[in-house]
Structure 1
Amino acid sequence: MLVLLVLLFRLAQSDNTVTFLTGLGKITGLSSTVNINNVSYNYHVFKRVPFAKPPIGDLRFKEPVPHGMWSGTLNATTFGPSCMQPPINDPTVIPDVSEDCLFLNIYTPESSITSVKKSVMIWIHGGGYNFGQGMGYPGEYMSVLGDVIIVTINYRLGVFGFFSTTDDVAPGNYGLWDQKLAIKWVHDNIDSFGGDQKSITIFGESAGGWSVGLQILNPTNKGLFQRAIAQSGIGNSLVALSPVARSTAVRIANALNCSDSLSDITMECLRNRTATELSKASFKAANQQLALYEFSFIIAYAPVIDGRFLTDHPVKMMNSLNGSSIDFFRSLDVIIGACEGEGSLLMGNLFSKHYNISAGIPSSYLCDHILPSFPVQFYNNNTRIVSAVCKKYKTTESIEQQSMQAINFYGDAFFYSPAIQSLNVHSRGNHITKTFQYMIQRLINDQSNMVPWFKEAGHGYEVIYLFPWKPLASTEAKELSKILILYWTNFAKTGYVL
């Protein structure tokens, strides 16, 4: 039986390439080796695998359409482009962007084609719903060390993935639908790569964590995956959804001389603009929208309640404690957690305002400049919230302690509070699934502090230990990487971390 399986799926292998037969056609990927702690591991990688038709022309601002079969043998030896996203300071980081970007990458241990199917982990990248790409996360490390199949995916970002008129004209959430279709593609096809479609885990960090948190509240995903890991973000976070989608859409229409009625005429006009024109206009519109607040917490292009993917606000879903969304959530094994210094994101916001963050964040700045925008954006401008939060996070201790209190406010409000609520809801009721929480507390000696008074593990700190895109310098760093990968992949295989 083992020989037959190998002949069925692995048609050929050279020194550098390997060809599999799938239900969609033949596919040629790379056979390679990775050295980890002076031990060599062999693996296969299949890059630029299309799961949807290019979302261009009439398919712009619409749910993705399955790609279907390909003709001939698919060349999966080079990465595809990243999805369209705003320019960043270093163009070499994301040198190739395109609307035609709905691809995924599959990393398998060399031994994946056996009679024993391997568990599968699908990574949803972060980047505030506006930046990032699947290829930026080398999946071979987790694959070979954990003996699992790793899949990294692209999904539409920014205006292309989350433009919304908040009605039926352009409902939005296209990036979430892309993720969902990629998950379904993996479920339907991973068997050809030696994967077990009954043992699939989705995991992601930051906006990837928010995305995981929203996917696990969509009951139409039932059967597509069995476990989920939400890192530094969960769907019921206040910042997981955009409260300014429609007003931002008006600004984009005006910037491109399209009707601001946000009608079908508007959409036809926007679909006729080039991707570059739309990207530039959307970047300008978002900046204008966020400039309305002295201090902005929100993301202009993000998921919305569309009545289909999201039928209600995730916070309300969690508060209800029942319903099909919560039932599906509780049917999954989950890990939900964060780094202790998640509020480090606040420092990035302050840096953009040219604030001297090294000098610290005094209580006067927290209470008079940062907090007043908080209830405006999330609590109908209830000013009592400002005084209550100011009182809780104000301290008469050192400026270093006060600065950390400002960081803690941000982390508590947008990361820890929603994570704890999700964990509590998941662990209630009569069900047999597992609930885990994690926290990463401190820096280790291969990472430097952003500022002298900040000594905690900041937002996204753990990702490099799961996907080492550069060599880990210290023994302690290598050990942390080994432990995290062990916990995550054990969970994917068994539902337990040990």
Structure 2
Amino acid sequence: MMSGLIWKLLLASACCSLTEVAAQQLVTIDTSLGRISGTQNSIRGDEYSKFLGIPYGTAERLQKPEPYGNFASNPLIATSYGSPCPQFSNGQIIGSEDCLTLNVFTPKRRRRNGLKSVMIWIHGGGLTTGSSDKYPLDVLAAANDVVAVSLNYRLGAFGFLSSPNDGLPGNYGLWDQQLAIMWVKNNIADYGGDPNSITLVGESVGAIAVTYHMISPTTPPNLFHRGITQSGSAFSLRFQDIRPEPNFQFVSTTFGCNGTRDELACIRAIPMNSLLASTPTLMYNPAIDGDFISPLFGEHLVQFTKDNYLQHGSQGLGNFLNYDILSGWNTMDGLVYVPAVEAINRAITGQDLSQGISEFVFGEVFKASSRGSFSESADLITTLALQFYMNEPTPLISKGRSIDDRRLEAFVNFFGDIGFKIPSITHLQIHSKTSSRRTYAYEFTYNPPGNGLSGSAGPEWLNAAANHRDEVPFVIGAVLAPESICSHTGLARCGRYNRREERFATNLMNHWTRFAKTGRLNNKFKQFRFRGGQSYMNLNINGTRRDTYPRSAAHRFSAGLDEIALRALGI
């Protein structure tokens, strides 16, 4: 029961935030799928059009999606976002299973027949929450001369319930994404986009998804051309299910489907709200299904782990080595879990975080959040993590802090490392070691005032570093968006960013869109090279500077944890 409460709180803290309402003037265009009407808009003097809620696929429950085909009406009215996919939001069930839609933001054409580079945004949310309407891409497209696309995909049990031995391979949410990318490839020229210059961009679990599209054997060559991953990568055993059957067994048993003549038909017939209500604490990972994700990739990670992340070749990497990549992390991504830890600490001890956390709370949170390959060895890993991170010097803890306060910092650093930073760096190391394409890295270090943990009753250092997702409103341009566009996004300071922050956002968008257009960054960015300086750019409002990633003790420690997890699974 406690683990269920803990996971609910973790989901509440780690889901996404960032919708949009604007003055509308209809614009209608002819496309190969039929006529479509969107809205023509202007933002800060830049004109653009947007087409919202375009259906790209249809899907039966727990089956691969099929292309939607031609528009059902003529013209299709595309002036509002489509329904989110089924999920919990603020404790309420929202969404519809008819949710496979995407949105296109296209700037005014500035030259005849000039097609523009395309950026496809894949949202985060732990594979259980999130929707495209939370990420307004208006400014990104209008001010930077790119076509921007966002999309919905199936989540939770609807997108990732899996049991290959029972005829349910899973990964339906990834198949949805791939179908949306194919729709963009085939149709984006109708909206002024260049099908031969497509960049995938993802944050958190969206970044993990981008990695899986790069390595999937089902991804056609040249479907897309570059990848940007923000605080996430699939290069971690923690983000794949080698044994996904327990979730399937739980659902089947809960609804009396096990032992029936057609178990899958029984599960597919469960009412949407009932299925969601029964599974709010289940955690999901992409499964090694032998189709979208090759067993060779799982074997690659296993061998890569046993070889201490240094020796293994390119087996199982699909097209990963054929893309230019930009990958990075935020200073303290692990801070995203602090609100959940605070709530859990109150539930267990009746206290806030001003005095830190106990060893028991540390362990309970990690065990409840363990999934995939880590679930069988959570107790041992918790013990080792406490020993390591309590003795690892950190810049934020001053002398005289209590041991419980140091333990809270250890928790933040541990979760930030294993969940975000180390998978991202591994992603960069593998690519730069084995690919001839460009490899760029960054660390986002700016902590926007009022956008972090100011409401948490804890030590001051909780507000001293960049939290998970802090970069998102800057790189998509929401910092520059008026309140009419960002008022429903959950952005804490919607319409109230200062001039320095606006200039910072403009610079970051310039970096991201330059990479999307050319695969290059300006000369300030030195490429990340496995042999020859693992350089990355420190991105801050006070200026950028070049740093070099050391082969840290934390990276080696994480590799050791992976090997422990494999042994627990008998691998």
TM-score in same-fold range (> 0.5): yes
Q: Which residue of 2 aligns with 1:305?
A: 288
Query: How far apart, in 1, do the equivalents of 2:111 and 2:37 lie?
Result: 15
Q: Which amino acid aligns with 2:386?
A: C
Deviation digits for residues 222-270 of structure 1, max 9, x if unmatched?
A: 2110001111111123442346631121221222222x25x77111112
TM-score for the superposition, normalised by structure 2: 0.74
- Contact 2:55–2:101 (Cα < 8 Å) also in 1: yes
Deviations 1:20-77 (A, max 9, x none): 111111111111122xxxx322110011111112x2xxx2100101111124221111
Q: What amino acid is aligned across from residue 301 of structure 1 in structure 2?
A: Y
Q: 1:361, 1:406 within 8 Å by CA — same for their partners in 2?
A: no
Q: Give 1:382 shift.
A: 8.2
**320-329 vs 136-145, greater mean Cα deviation:** 320-329
Shift of 1:444: 3.1
Label 1:377 to 1:17 Cα distance change in 2 as closer, same or farther (>3 A): same
Q: Is the 8 A contact 1:201 1:228 kept in 2?
A: yes
Q: Which residue of 2 aligns with 1:4?
A: none
CA contact (8 A) 1:24 1:68 kept: yes
**2:483 matches 1:458:** no
Q: Which residue of 2 aligns with 1:404?
A: 409
Q: Does 1:33 align with 2:42?
A: yes
State the partner residue of 1:331: 322
Asked if structure 1 preserves the Cα contact closer than 8 Å seen for 2:362 and 2:411, the reply is: no
Deviation at 1:402, TM superposition (A): 4.4
Contact kept, 8 Å, 2:333 with 2:420, in 1: the verdict is yes
Matched ranges for 1:434-473 at <5 A:
434-450=438-454, 451=456, 452-454=460-462, 455-467=464-476, 468=478, 469=486, 470-473=494-497
Aligned pairs (5 A) from 1:171-186: 171-186=169-184
Instruction: Note the C-alpha offset of 1:381.
Output: 2.8
The amino acid across from 2:331 in the alignment is E
Match of 2:116? Answer: 118
Equivalence map 1:166-205=2 (5 Å): 166-167=164-165, 169-205=167-203
Q: CA deviation at 1:325?
A: 4.2
1:161–1:172 contact (8 Å) kept in structure 2: yes
Corresponding residue for residue 83 of structure 2: 81
Q: What secondary structure sits across from 1:427 in the alignment?
A: helix
Q: What is the DSSP-based 3-state SS (H/G/I as helix, E as strand, rest coil) of the residue aligned with 1:381?
A: helix
Superposed, 1:129-168 pairs within 5 Å as 129-167=127-165
1: distance between equivalents of 2:343 and 2:242?
A: 22
CA distance in 1, matches of 2:153, 2:119: 16
Aligned position for 2:418: 413
Cα shift at 1:421: 1.1
Q: CA deviation at 1:476?
A: 2.7
The Cα offsets for residues 329-384 of structure 1, whole Å up to 9 and x where unpaired, read as 11101111111111113324413424445224357457765567769961753866
Pairs within 5 Å for 1:474-489 = 474-489=498-513
**Alpha-carbon distance, 1:87 to partner:** 4.1
Deviation at 1:449, TM superposition (A): 3.3
> Following TM superposition, by how much is the alpha carbon of 1:443 offset from its aligned partner in structure 2, in angstroms?
1.0
Cα displacement (A) at 1:392: 1.9
Q: What letter corresponds to residue 415 of structure 1 in structure 2? A: F
Say if 1:429 and 1:239 are closer, same or farther in 2 by CA, change over 3 A.
closer
Question: Is residue 378 of structure 1 aligned with residue 407 of structure 2?
Answer: no
Paired AA for residue 135 in structure 2? Y
**Partner residue in 2 for 1:343:** 334
The whole-number CA distance in structure 2 between the counterparts of 1:141 and 1:264 is 53
Q: 1:482 to 1:357 in 2, by over 3 A?
A: farther
Partner residue of 2:8? none
Instruction: Tell me by how many angstroms 1:109 deviates.
Output: 0.3
Matching residue's letter, 1:303: P
Say if 2:428 is the partner of 1:427: no
For residue 358 of structure 1, give the secondary structure of its aligned residue in structure 2: coil
Secondary structure of 1:461's counterpart equals: coil
SS of the residue 2:506 aligns to: helix
Distance verdict in 2 for CA 1:69–1:376, change over 3 Å:
closer
Determine if contact 1:28/1:76 at 8 Å carries over to the other structure.
yes
Contact kept, 8 Å, 1:228 with 1:333, in 2: the verdict is yes
Task: Describe the SS at the equivalent of 1:447.
Answer: coil
Shift of 1:488: 0.8
The equivalent of 1:295 in structure 2 is: none
- Quote the Cα distance in structure 2 between the aligned partners of 1:270 and 1:380: 27
Q: Which amino acid aligns with 1:307?
A: G
2:413, 2:426 → 1: CA distance? 17
What is the letter of the counterpart of residue 274 of structure 1?
Answer: P
> What is the CA–CA distance in structure 2 between the aligned matches of 1:184 and 1:251, rounded to whole Å?
34
8 Å Cα contact 2:313-2:434 kept in structure 1: no
Task: Find the counterpart in structure 2 of residue 6 from structure 1.
Answer: none
2:9 paired residue number: none
Structure 1 residues not aligned, in runs of 5+: 1-14, 287-299
Shift of 1:311: 1.2
8 Å contact from structure 1 (residues 210, 230) kept in 2: yes
User: Which structure 2 residues correspond to residues 221-236 of structure 1 after superposition, within 5 A?
Assistant: 221=219, 222-236=221-235
Deviations, residues 384-426 of structure 1 (Å, cap 9, x unaligned): 6455433321149424554323211111112122111111110
2:61 matched residue in structure 1: 60
Describe the superposition over 1:116-137 as per-residue Cα deviations: whole angstroms up to 9, x where unpaired.
2100000001111011111211
Distance in 1, matches of 2:88 and 2:366, equals: 28
2:128/2:156 contact within 8 Å kept: yes
Distance 1:138 1:372, change over 3 A: closer
Change over 3 Å in CA distance of 1:368–1:233 after alignment to 2: closer
TM-score of the pair, normalised by structure 1: 0.84
Unaligned 5+ runs, structure 2 = 1-23, 305-310, 394-398, 479-485, 487-493, 523-571
Distance 1:276-1:487 versus aligned 2 partners, 3 A rule: same
Aligned to 1:282: 279
Task: Give the partner amino acid of 2:134.
Answer: G
Q: Deviations over 1:429-466 (max 9, x none)?
A: 351x1111111123133534344331111111111223
Distance (whole Å) between structure 2 residues aligned to residue 67 and residue 330 of structure 1 = 32
CA distance 1:375–1:68, change in 2 (3 Å): closer
d(CA) in 2 for partners of 1:41 and 1:224?
Answer: 30
Partners of 2:195 and 2:372 in 1: how far apart?
45
**1:5-30 Cα distance to aligned partner (Å, 9 max, x none):** xxxxxxxxxx8111111111111111
